[in-house]
């Protein structure tokens, strides 16, 4: 891919599931899509039937990268082999998630404290990525450090394994998402990559992507220009805006009644896909999306805060059929 900057969809747990990814691919496809992260251990220790559903994808979503987390090189290799079997275009290793349950397993951001194991995990993924003669690119998503900025030591250790891509979330694990992302660290990551030479005297060709607090494509382009990074990963901005990666994003305004209709119809379509593709998941997962879809417009014609009233009704909905009826009634008020 020669286009720069590359704009990609971040992996978000219980957000970028197969249903939402189908919607995003239809209404505003990014250059590359990531799955939500999946436990490599869970896949091969009794949870395969449920977890493999999180890895389902359509041809319209390509290129698509499967993201896994584990502290076991053996499990990572098996997950990479599975990605080959399922036809993914790449494999990503989560080395930045701050979730305590993930860290207790020695995975996610815990890898920053154990760089030797992190290298073993990456190399195991690369081995698994060669199954059946394939050679899928292996990438890493991580942070600038654990309790403090450790880029100067952490990033070179990752570069030693020669991954295709490293995405830098511009915060430490300790900071979670509680402070603004500091993109000067992404710029520094690019500088470290540019000056890196491996033991054979070869310069690094690893791509560096930045992540954190990116509002839209215009903002992504600006961040890339300021830092020199090869691409930008957008995450939370996708909430309520499945058309985020489309040029039409700039033209859709929630204050406009017709645009509001379009957004709500996409929301209903998303809900029906969720129910169809992920019947094993709790329907309440969709409700975080409703808060984002139904946001940012003026009072309803009947008086009151139309968005607030609608959100309250959606929060009580139990299935896609109820959601569809609630939206039909609301749309009648817009005529």
Q: Which two tokens stand for residue 280?
A: 């094993």
Q: How many Å apart are CA 262 and CA 246, to the nearest integer?
A: 14
Q: How many Å apart are CA 25 and CA 245, to the nearest integer?
A: 9
How is 209-273 classified by DSSP, letter by letter? EEESS--SHHHHHHHHHHH--SEEEE-GGGTT-TTTTSGGGGG--TTSHHHHHHHHHHHHHHHHH
Which secondary-structure segment (H or E) carries 293? Answer: helix 287-293
Distances, alpha carbon 132 to alpha carbons 115, 154, 273, in Å: 29, 32, 33
Q: Is 97 annotated as catalytic?
A: yes
How is 136-157 classified by DSSP, letter by letter? --EEEEEEEESSS--HHHHHHH
**Active-site residue (options: 15, 23, 97, 110):** 97
Q: How many Å apart are CA 149 and CA 173, to the nearest integer?
A: 10
Q: How many Å apart are CA 91 and CA 245, to the nearest integer?
A: 22
- DSSP, res 296: S
Cis? peptide before 63, omega within 30° of 0? yes
Which secondary-structure segment (H or E) carries 80? Answer: helix 73-86
Quick one: angle between helices 257-277 and 320-333, nearest 10?
Answer: 170
Q: How many Å apart are CA 116 and CA 158, to the nearest integer?
A: 10
Active site residues: 97
């Amino acid at each position: 891919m020669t286009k720069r900057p590359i704009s990609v969809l971040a992996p978000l747990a219980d957000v970028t599931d197969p249903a939402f990814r189908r919607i995003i691919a239809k209404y505003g496809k990014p250059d590359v899509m990531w799955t939500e992260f999946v436990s490599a251990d869970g896949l091969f220790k009794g949870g395969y039937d449920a977890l493999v559903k999180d890895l389902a994808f359509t041809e319209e979503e390509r290129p698509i990268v499967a993201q896994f987390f584990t502290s076991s090189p053996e499990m990572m290799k098996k997950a990479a082999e599975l990605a080959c079997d399922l036809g993914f275009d790449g494999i990503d290793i989560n080395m930045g998630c701050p979730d305590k349950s993930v860290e207790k397993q020695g995975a996610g951001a815990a890898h920053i404290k154990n760089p030797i194991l992190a290298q073993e995990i990456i190399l195991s993924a690369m081995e698994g990525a060669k199954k059946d003669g394939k050679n899928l690119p292996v990438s890493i998503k991580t942070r600038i450090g654990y309790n403090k900025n450790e880029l100067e030591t952490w990033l070179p250790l990752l570069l030693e394994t020669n991954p295709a891509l490293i995405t830098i979330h511009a915060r430490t694990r300790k900071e979670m998402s509680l402070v603004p992302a500091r993109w000067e660290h992404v710029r520094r990551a690019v500088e470290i990559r540019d000056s890196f030479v491996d033991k054979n005297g070869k310069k690094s060709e690893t791509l560096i992507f930045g992540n954190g607090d990116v509002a839209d494509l215009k903002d992504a382009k600006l961040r890339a220009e300021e830092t020199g990074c090869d691409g930008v990963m957008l995450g939370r901005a996708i909430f309520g805006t499945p058309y985020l990666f489309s040029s039409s994003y700039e033209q859709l305004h929630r204050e406009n009644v017709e645009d509001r209709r379009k957004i709500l119809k996409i929301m209903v379509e998303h809900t029906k896909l969720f129910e169809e593709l992920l019947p094993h998941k709790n329907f309440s997962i969709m409700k975080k999306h409703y808060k984002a879809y139904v946001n940012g417009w003026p009072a309803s014609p009947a008086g009151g805060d139309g968005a607030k009233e609608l959100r309250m009704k959606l929060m009580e909905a139990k299935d896609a059929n109820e959601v569809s009826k609630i939206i039909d009634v609301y749309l009648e008020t817009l005529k």
